[in-house]
């Protein structure tokens, strides 16, 4: 069976060499007589797997010793509560920028724990743009400033890192992590659900500046307390061992590809050709301000919504899968993360061109 091009937003396609290696190591990891799935998380073997994954991530993303890397559970969504519980402190106020559905979810959850202000919003535009920083109404005494660098559903991506002065900057990097170089030192905390550019779902990677540890409110559940998770090397309880191992394989693969600089070059090329095709063809449209179009998630509509079903059926028949847009937006969405080969984007464009000719 040949593999399809899977454009799902997450869980998303993984690099084929990673899956092959996981398959080859499935029954017997390097002579241990067992799968990584069956290993004690306290075993020397698993501890090595875990530490190597962290080390590789540190190298790839340029994470200094000023930061702790945590491999947590509960996906990015659990961080929507974990972050305010750990960082709001006594003063209990934080600022959030609203650029779409994932920002909104983060805001709604944080609002249960403190004085959360929306510092800026692009809702009036239908979330088709990023509000320029000059217009943000931020508070210098906020415990942190939160934003969503890439809105996975809207297909909207910042092309700048906000200036937050002394206020720690917190970013939900779920759908952009490792897709391009990043200056980690600008952030207080970065978090990313794994199921796009990192590995299987459930795992969430948290990169936190060490001075932000140890500030959790007393009622914070132990499993959500960054200090506790950090002190225990992300093994306060049984971690998501297999997901952690797979993330490690993805990090090795990324290094072999030349790291995030090399990925960024390919990602820029993939996204540019898809947007150029959409813009150049009257049959398709993408509503996002060109400056802020996502490299990872490309939503588009057809000239006639009534053709959506036919489009999806034809795509499926060609092994171009999961192009249906998010239920809240409609239309189509092609997620083209690191592991989507350029040939997949070429095949999609080819199909779209033929479809427009036939139905346009």
| Number of Cα atoms under 13 Å in the Cβ half of residue 324 | 10
For the chain, the first-to-last Cα distance in angstroms comes to 33
Closest separation between CB of residue 327 and ligand PMP, Å? 13
Closest separation between CB of residue 274 and ligand PMP, Å? 19
Which H helix or E strand runs over 100?
none
Closest separation between CB of residue 53 and ligand PMP, Å? 18
Catalytic residue list:
102, 172, 196
Question: Does 77 belong to an annotated binding site?
Answer: yes
Residue nearest to ligand PMP (CB): 75
Question: Does 42 belong to an annotated binding site?
Answer: yes
- Listing DSSP states for 282-319 in one string gives TTEE--S-GGGB-SSEEEEEES-GGGHHHHHHHHHHTT
Of 84 and 284, CB closest to ligand PMP: 84
310 backbone dihedrals φ, ψ, rounded to 5°: -65, -40
Question: Does 195 belong to an annotated binding site?
Answer: yes
Binding-site ranges for ligand PMP (CB under 6 A): 9-10, 75-77, 102, 148, 152, 172, 174-175, 193, 201
Closest separation between CB of residue 240 and ligand PMP, Å? 12
255 backbone dihedrals φ, ψ, rounded to 5°: -65, -40
Of 296 and 302, CB closest to ligand PMP: 296
Of 148 and 281, CB closest to ligand PMP: 148
Q: Alpha-carbon distance 199 to 15, whole Å?
A: 10
Under 8 Å between Cβ of 196 and 210? no
Of 201 and 257, CB closest to ligand PMP: 201
Under 8 Å between Cβ of 274 and 288? no
| Residues annotated within a binding site for L-glutamate | 42
| Residues annotated within a binding site | 42, 76-77, 102, 152, 172, 195, 237-238
| Residues annotated within a binding site for pyridoxal 5'-phosphate | 76-77, 102, 152, 172, 195, 237-238
């Amino acid at each position: 069976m040949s593999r399809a091009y899977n454009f799902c937003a997450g869980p998303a396609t993984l690099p084929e060499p990673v899956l092959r290696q996981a398959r080859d190591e499935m029954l017997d990891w390097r002579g241990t007589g067992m799968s990584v799935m069956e290993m004690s998380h306290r075993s020397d073997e698993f501890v090595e797997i875990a530490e190597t994954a962290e080390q590789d991530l540190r190298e790839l993303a340029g994470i200094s010793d000023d930061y702790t890397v945590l491999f947590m559970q509960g996906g990015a969504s659990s961080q929507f509560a974990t972050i305010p519980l750990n960082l709001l402190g006594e003063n209990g106020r934080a600022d959030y920028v609203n650029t779409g559905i994932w920002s909104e979810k983060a805001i709604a959850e944080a609002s249960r724990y403190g004085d959360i202000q929306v510092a800026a919003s692009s809702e009036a535009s239908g979330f088709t743009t990023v509000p320029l920083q000059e217009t943000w109404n931020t508070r210098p005494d906020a415990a942190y400033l939160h934003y969503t660098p890439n809105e996975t559903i809207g297909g909207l991506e910042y092309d700048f890192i906000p200036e937050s002065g002394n206020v720690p900057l917190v970013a939900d990097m779920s759908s952009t992590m490792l897709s391009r170089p990043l200056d980690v030192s600008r952030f207080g905390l970065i978090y990313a659900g794994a199921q796009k550019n990192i590995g299987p779902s459930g795992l969430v990677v948290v990169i936190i500046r060490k001075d932000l540890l140890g500030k959790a409110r007393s009622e914070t559940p132990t499993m959500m307390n960054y200090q506790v998770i950090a002190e225990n090397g992300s093994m306060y309880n049984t971690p998501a061992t297999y997901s952690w191992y797979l993330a490690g394989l993805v990090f090795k693969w990324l290094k072999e590809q030349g790291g995030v600089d090399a990925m960024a070059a390919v990602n820029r090329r993939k996204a540019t050709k898809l947007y150029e095709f959409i813009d150049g063809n009257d049959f398709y449209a993408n509503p996002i301000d060109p400056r802020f179009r996502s490299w990872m998630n490309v939503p588009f509509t057809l000239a006639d919504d009534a053709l959506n079903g036919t489009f999806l059926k034809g795509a499926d028949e060609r092994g171009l899968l999961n192009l249906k847009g998010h239920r809240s937006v409609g239309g189509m969405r092609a997620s083209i993360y690191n592991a989507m080969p350029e040939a997949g984007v070429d095949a999609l464009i080819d199909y779209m061109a033929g479809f427009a000719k036939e139905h346009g």
